[in-house]
Amino acid sequence: MKTEEKSKHQRRDVYDDEKLYELFQKHNLRHKRMISGSKSGYWRRFPNHDIMFNANIFTPSGIWWNGDLDITIDNFTIQKLCDDLGEELIIVAESLGWQGAEEQSYEELFEHAHAYFTPNKRYYHLCKYSGIHGVKRGNMTIITSKPDHFHKVRVKKWSRSNRKYDRT
């Protein structure tokens, strides 16, 4: 019996496609975006936020973006981007998005997703973790959080003026 090979996840960097580049720019998600010059300073200012420095966004069609995300603040923007793209997107930690991601299928990348967004929804899915584990990438093992299950989180628009959520 033949074993089917899983399809590789070909990356299409947002810089490779002018329309994609403009779409990400429209949503203020510049490629290699930085939200702070100091990671520790940002963590101290927002200790209860879901922050991913050097996050990677992948879609089933191969779109790839990386940069800093504060999902607590950016979730509304990410959802609008997802709606405009018309396809699911996943957010993966830096080490899992860089090391060997091109050799992984979208399904394999999804196994390590921190969050995923689906078009035209009012909620996204956030991973709950249970301990740590090692992920093998070539001759390297990446120690990372062990995904357990996803739970739904309501998409909310962040109001920076009063640091509260606006209902959408």
Average pLDDT across each block of 10 residues of the chain; the chain has 168 residues. List them in order.
50 80 91 91 92 92 91 95 96 75 81 92 86 63 65 84 50
Is residue 1 in some structural domain?
Answer: no
* pLDDT recorded at residue 64: 87
Boundaries of domain holding 131: 12-160
* pLDDT recorded at residue 47: 92
Is residue 141 in some structural domain?
Answer: yes
Is residue 31 in some structural domain?
Answer: yes
Total domain count for the chain?
Answer: 1
Question: What is the C-alpha separation between 99 and 137, in angstroms, rounded?
Answer: 6
Is residue 165 in some structural domain?
Answer: no
**Rg of the chain taking only CA atoms, in angstroms:** 16
Q: 99-129 as b/e, with b when 16 or more CB fall inside 10 Å?
A: bbbeebebebbbebbbbbbeeeeeebbbbee
* pLDDT recorded at residue 2: 39
Is residue 82 in some structural domain?
Answer: yes
Tokens for 63, please give them.
Answer: 């779109």
CB atoms within 10 A of CB 161: 6
Is residue 167 in some structural domain?
Answer: no
Is residue 44 in some structural domain?
Answer: yes
